[in-house]
Amino acid sequence: MSIHRLIRQRFFPHLWCPGCGHGMILNALLHAVDELGIEQSQLCMVSGIGCSARISGYVDFHSMHTLHGRALAFATGLKLARPELKVFVPMGDGDAMAIGGNHFIHACRRNIDMVAIVMNNRIYGMTGGQYSPLSGRGIVATTAPYHSIDRDFDTVRLATGAGATFVARTTAFHVREISSLIKKAYEHKGFAVVEVLTQCPTYFGRKNKLGGPVQMLEWYRDNTAPLGSKKLAENPDLIPRGVFVDEEAPEYCSEYDSVIARAHKE
Amino acid sequence: MEKFRFLLSGSGGQGVITMAILLAEAAVLYEGRVAVQSQSYGPEARGGATRSDVIIADEPILFPKVSQPNVLVTLTNEAAGKYMPLIRPGGMCLYDSDLVQPSRRIDAILKGIPMHRAVMEKFGKSQALNICVLGALVTLTGAVHMEAIEKVLAARFKPAFHAANSAALALGAELARPLVEHS
Amino acid sequence: MSSQICFVQGNEACVRGALYAGVRFFAGYPITPSTEIAEHLAEQLPRVGGKFVQMEDEIASMCAVCGASLAGFKAMTATSGPGFSLKQEALGYAIMAEIPCVVVDVQRGGPSTGLPTECSQGDLMQARWGAHGDHSIIALTASSIQDVFSTTVEAFNMAETYRTPVILLFDEVIGHMREKLEIPEQGVLPVVERLHTEVRAGVNYHPYLPREDGRLPMSDFGGVHRYNVTGLHHDIWGFPTQNADQVSKLNYHLYDKIENREHLLARWKEYYLDDAEQVIISYGSSARSCRQLVENRHHKGDRIGLLELQTLWPFPAKLVREKTARAKSIFVVEMNMGQLAAQVKPIVVNPDRVFRVNRVDGQLITPTDIGQVMRVIEGRGF
């Protein structure tokens, strides 16, 4: 089937800058959803605020464009109320890891069944290029005009430490890998985190003299390697890609059914 | 019937608030009277000063707090020092005679009973102290019938506690009976 | 099933009222003095097939309530001052996205952490203007355990009718006090159910297009209509817009749907107002003290009456003006620095005769407190 059935065509072309990686993630997500063959009336997308959050307007899902950082909290209410719904929660790096950091770690801990996608371009784009908790030391941004002295979070390690039962990472360069990881994340029962390293040529690339979108994508190609690959073994400084965590644990909505059963007994 | 303004006081963990609820609930559910229970407490669950007010009447109770109790129950010296001066002249003060050394200067009928000691002797632990106090309080004041308290205890607690509760209630009543004034 | 008589706290009466109204979702975070609401719902909701979740913070709780409500559940949360502050962001979202829900604020002393276990009515203005931007809100209160129950049912009814969050502004005294509650049989009190759209699958559904009667039928997430919900200004489809005409229309719609219904939303009780020369205006627990004073003085032959407001927002200005039209003096009794008095003063016939009677030490204002202020104002000494 065509992925066009999954989008709201009247809103295209989208508002993202030329060369932005977010459209590539949208494309990969749509292919994943299409291939999964999910009943469209069950598809929900809950997003926060920022460039990334605008993704929910483009998909023909039940869509909730919520508050900065709070998408996972809204999604938790939605999913717990109606566990049969299929919930996707795309977030930006500032959205998920700064203002939404608390919601993120607790969603990981709770293990409620949904797919969280962290679209990590290491910058606040919509507000014009401020550094985020994923920018890292030495990065230049409008609020770090000399350089950033803030240490960065590692999304994968943070999610793992917080108890997420599925954790994966890829990049905007690896478009098919995005699709396959989102499919795996969806098929995993529990809270699944997929971090996608993506490029913001307008702010991050320009401020840090990384070239245009093509050069930024090439950087992701050259500086990442699949988990277990020879390339990674030979050069451990590369950013690893792939599935870091995939384990079974009690899922929150199912567990709540046991609360209901027990409440009826007593 | 008489309007009762109870101020029940002690320290957190002594079951003062539960005692107040049981008393007021008995009056409302089993005697068809009007009652209001309220409470004030510090931040501690155990140890801090605890106070609960109960008003029992036959007409609507508007202001729900007790500013001048006609019956004060106090289970600690701290509470006694704080609340005894509030007693209405000629009111009653029921206190634990081992735990509290009340001021004799207050115009109140003092009823001291070693309830804590009796509960420890009978049960080996102090959990049932509040039920024992309730037995004494109801015996001394006649604010509600003892049967109403028994019904509340049966309704609110699991069957496993029924025997101990009844025994504690009877113990309080027995200790208080010699102190009842027949007028 | 006949009516049921019980002896409960205000917080539990609120839970019983919510269940009567059909609440099926609660998200919250522990905070004194509202925690009992969460505790009782944690026990009761799974028994009726509902869902309870203790979230990571107050913010997340309010967000989860919005999510569950859009899924078709009657949803609520409960908190107190500091938590109410944190909820304002998502409360604003619920106002903007027109999400029915009920938010209980059992008021305690403030500002900041203030007096967690003591009483205040200091959140009156926060309930009205806590969220940023122009908006309107419904806030109700009650002074007895029975009224807490019925007011909670009303709150859900208004939330569903007007697609808006409704604030229940109780206070610590009412939340923690126990009194008799008679729960009527189901069906005795009206319960407004969610209005769902009749638009069929495949036909355009406009989630933000009001009907002739002003109501906006909803479609649950997971239903046949896929639409967008956003906190941005939006068009009738729910998609963001900066079109000045649409923005203006939405602002007026959000404001007018409540402010223009002041007369429909007003709930109050009155005592001896017919020939009252002195009118006391109060609400919540302080209204009990006022009524005590009024009863005492009325029996002595004083021409004194009480107007107890149960709807605080939208402020029932017309009602207050009418009920105080013949008053020689008006006393606004509240446990704050005069937040309601500030509303009363500009709208009455004789603003110079409006007097504030306040207590802000965490204690319930007493009939004696009120009487003393009145004596001074009447020139009868202190």
Hey, what are B22's tokens? 């049981």
pLDDT score at B49: 80
Residues A71-127 pLDDT 10s: 999 999 999 999 999 999 999 999 999 999 999 999 999 999 999 999 999 999 999
CATH for C336 = 3.40.50.920
- Contact criterion met (CB below 8 Å) for A88 and A45: yes
- The alpha-carbon gap from B41 to the nearest alpha carbon of chain C, in Å, equals 7
Residues A14-28 pLDDT 10s: 999 999 999 999 999
Q: Which residues of C touch B38 (CB under 8 A)?
A: 173, 176-178
- Domain count of the fold of chain B: 1
Q: Residue C185: how many CB atoms within 10 A of its CB?
A: 11
pLDDT score at A252: 98
**Chosen domain end from C168, C183, C198:** C183
Q: How many Cβ contacts (< 8 angstroms) between chains A and C?
A: 137
In a domain, residue C113? The reply is yes
Rounded alpha-carbon distances, angstroms, from residue C76 to A13, C27, C127, C167, C229: 39, 7, 16, 10, 19
pLDDT score at C172: 97
Smallest Cβ–Cβ distance between B43 and the set C116, C288, C364 belongs to C116
Query: Which chains, if any, share at least 3 CB pairs under 8 A with chain B?
Result: C
- The alpha-carbon gap from C242 to the nearest alpha carbon of chain A, in Å, equals 14
Q: Return the C-alpha torsion angle A193, A197, A199, A200, nearest 10.
A: 50
pLDDT score at B151: 97
Statement to judge: residues C8 and C152 lie in one domain: yes
Per-position b or e across C367-382, b if 16+ CB within 10 A of its CB: bebbbebbeeeeeeee
The answer to whether B177 contacts chain C (CB < 8 Å) is no
Hey, are the CB atoms on C232 and A65 less than 8 Å from each other? yes
The answer to whether C232 contacts chain A (CB < 8 Å) is yes
d(CA A75, CA C216): 23
Q: Which residues of C touch A61 (CB under 8 A)?
A: 226
Task: Please give the residue range of the domain that contains residue B72.
Answer: 4-179
pLDDT score at A266: 81
Hey, are the CB atoms on A81 and C56 less than 8 Å from each other? no
The answer to whether C226 contacts chain A (CB < 8 Å) is yes
The answer to whether B100 contacts chain C (CB < 8 Å) is no
CA-based angle C61:C62:C65, to the nearest 5?
Answer: 90
ipTM over 0.90: yes
Rounded alpha-carbon distances, angstroms, from residue C179 to B35, B59, B143, C146: 6, 13, 17, 8
Which stretches in chain C have pLDDT values below 70? 1, 382
- What's the mean pLDDT when you consider all of chain A? 97
pLDDT score at B74: 97
Which stretches in chain A have pLDDT values below 70? 1
Residues C156-211 pLDDT 10s: 999 999 999 999 999 999 999 999 999 999 999 999 999 999 999 999 999 999 99
Statement to judge: residues C34 and C138 lie in one domain: yes
Q: Which residues of C touch A58 (CB under 8 A)?
A: none
- Domain count of the fold of chain C: 2
User: Tell me, what DSSP letter sits at residue B29?
Assistant: I
pLDDT score at C381: 73
Residue closest to A96 by CA, chosen among A196, A202, A221? A196
pLDDT score at C226: 97
Taking CA–CA distances from C118, the nearest residue in chain B reads: B40
In a domain, residue C238? The reply is no
CATH for B10 = 3.40.920.10
Taking CA–CA distances from B28, the nearest residue in chain C reads: C180
Statement to judge: residues C169 and C317 lie in one domain: no
Tens-digit pLDDT profile for chain B (183 aa)? 689 999 999 998 899 999 999 999 999 999 999 999 998 866 666 667 889 999 999 999 999 999 999 999 999 999 999 999 999 999 999 999 999 999 888 899 999 999 999 999 999 999 999 999 999 999 999 999 999 999 999 999 999 999 999 999 999 999 999 999 865
d(CA B83, CA B100): 12
d(CA B52, CA C178): 11
pLDDT score at A3: 93
Q: Do chains B and C touch (3 or more CB pairs under 8 A)?
A: yes
Q: Do chains A and B touch (3 or more CB pairs under 8 A)?
A: no
Residues in A whose CB is inside 8 Å of some CB of C read: 11, 40-44, 46, 56-57, 60-67, 70, 73-82, 84-85, 102-103, 105-106, 256, 259-260, 262-264
Hey, what are C190's tokens? 């009206």
Statement to judge: residues C132 and C11 lie in one domain: yes
pLDDT score at B44: 61
User: Which 3 state secondary structure label does DSSP give A94?
Assistant: helix
User: Tell me, what DSSP letter sits at residue A231?
Assistant: H
pLDDT score at A25: 98
- Chain B interface disruption, residue of C178, C269, C272, C335, most B CBs within 10 A: C178
**Chosen domain end from C151, C183, C215:** C183
Identify the sign of the CA torsion C282, C286, C287, C290: negative
Q: What are phi and psi of C65, to 5 degrees?
A: -60, -40
- Chain A interface disruption, residue of C44, C69, C70, C237, most A CBs within 10 A: C70
- Chain A interface disruption, residue of C29, C56, C73, most A CBs within 10 A: C56
Taking CA–CA distances from C71, the nearest residue in chain A reads: A78
Residue closest to A245 by CA, chosen among A164, A187, A180? A164
Which class would CATH give A3-265? alpha beta
Task: Please give the residue range of the domain that contains residue C341.
Answer: 269-377
Smallest Cβ–Cβ distance between C178 and the set B21, B42, B63 belongs to B21
Q: Which residues of B touch C295 (CB under 8 A)?
A: 62
Q: Which residues of B touch C118 (CB under 8 A)?
A: 40
